[in-house]
């Protein structure tokens, strides 16, 4: 339902046991992304949405 509104969904912080239980219960993650923690989730969204900026060193070199 969230995707209908143009939002990307990332579920973060699920322990492997919880994710496994959710799959066993028949919950599908087809339209959602998952990440181990918030930092990884934000990085995933940045890559997905094309917002990731190239790393530039102090001398201006990439």
pLDDT tens digits, residue range 9-44?
Answer: 888 998 889 888 988 999 877 777 888 899 998 898
Domains with residue ranges and CATH for the chain? 3-49 (3.30.750.24)
More confident site: 7 or 37: 37
| pLDDT at res. 34 | 84
> What's the confidence (pLDDT) of residue 53?
65
Torsion angle, CA of 8/48/42/12, rounded to 10 degrees? 60
Residue range 35-57: mean pLDDT, rounded? 81
How many residues does the structure list for the chain? 62
**Angle at the Cα of 8 (from 40 to 14), degrees rounded to 5?**
45
- Long-range contacts made by residues 16-19, C-beta under 8 angstroms, separation at least 24? none
């Amino acid at each position: 339902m969230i995707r209908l509104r143009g939002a990307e969904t990332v579920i973060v912080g699920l322990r492997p046991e919880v994710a496994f239980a959710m799959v066993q219960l028949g919950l599908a993650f087809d339209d959602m992304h998952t990440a181990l923690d918030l930092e990884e989730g934000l990085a995933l969204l940045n890559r997905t949405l094309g917002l990731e900026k190239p790393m530039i060193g102090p001398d201006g070199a990439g």
